[in-house]
Amino acid sequence: MGGMAEQTPPPEEQDPSERTDRPILTGLVALVGVGLVVGLVLGGGALAATRLLGLGGEEEAATAVATERDSLVLPEPEETEEPDGPLVTLRPDPQQSARPSQEPTEEEEEGITLSAGQTQVSPMGQIDLTGVYPGGEGAILQVQRFEGGRWGDFPVTASVSNETFSTYIQTGQTGVNRFRMLDTDSGDASNEVKVTVG
């Protein structure tokens, strides 16, 4: 008889719940693992680069300096001694804020005291003249310049108010100019001031 073909039994069907290969889960686990490895490598590289370039040390040094500088030391309190002289506060003279070009002598302090606001100016530059005249309330003071061996009137005057006076002058005469103030009534003269022009 003809040979009968042997029939192989069909492969057994597996239950899908019993499968061991889960490609999605396996892919996710592999992806997380690769991400961790890459993150560690990049983090380690960045840390090595900052140490190699010395970037981290500056911040630590700045913090150390700031802490050193910001420390506060309070001195021990000490008792102050009682003052042995009179307690007097003198009102500052507003005219003394302008630096005088020459210090007045004791003799001149009783009369007219003159100060120049500038010691050197360019030709026709402003020269501020200020001063005090104790007891000279209302007096008219004539500006004088020394030239040719004598004092001559300069075409500017100032009046005394509250025992003080102020005015300004301009001159084109170069070199050292000497100025003073003269009380036109009493003939009292102030100290002289020198201003270099040019």
- Give the domain CATH number at 113: 2.60.40.1930
Q: Are residues 104 and 62 both part of a single domain? A: no
Instruction: Quote the DSSP letter at residue 176.
Output: E
Q: Are residues 131 and 178 both part of a single domain? A: yes
Residue 10 in this model has a pLDDT that exceeds 90:
no
Q: Are residues 63 and 111 both part of a single domain? A: no
State in Å, rounded, how far the first CA of the chain is from the last one: 146
pLDDT at residue 107, rounded to an integer: 44
Within-domain flag for 73: no
When divided into structural domains, the chain yields a total of: 2
Within-domain flag for 161: yes
Rg of the chain (C-alpha set): 49
pLDDT at residue 29, rounded to an integer: 85
Share of the chain above pLDDT 70, in %: 65
Q: Are residues 116 and 178 both part of a single domain? A: yes
Report angle CA 106, 110, 107 to the nearest 5 degrees. 30
Q: Could you tell me the pTM of the whole model?
A: 0.46
Q: What is the mean pLDDT of residues 79-88?
A: 68
Instruction: Give the residue with greater pLDDT, 53 vs 166.
Output: 166
Q: Are residues 106 and 60 both part of a single domain? A: no
Range of the domain at 57: 24-68
Q: Are residues 114 and 189 both part of a single domain? A: yes
Share of the chain above pLDDT 90, in %: 41
Asked if 163 contacts 134 with a C-beta cutoff of 8 angstroms, the reply is yes
pLDDT band for 108, please (50, 70, 90 cuts): very low
SS (H, E, C) 106-169: HHHHCCCEEEECCCEECCCCCEEEEEECCCCCCCEEEEEEEECCEEEEEEEEEECECCEEEEEE
Residue 13 in this model has a pLDDT that exceeds 50:
yes
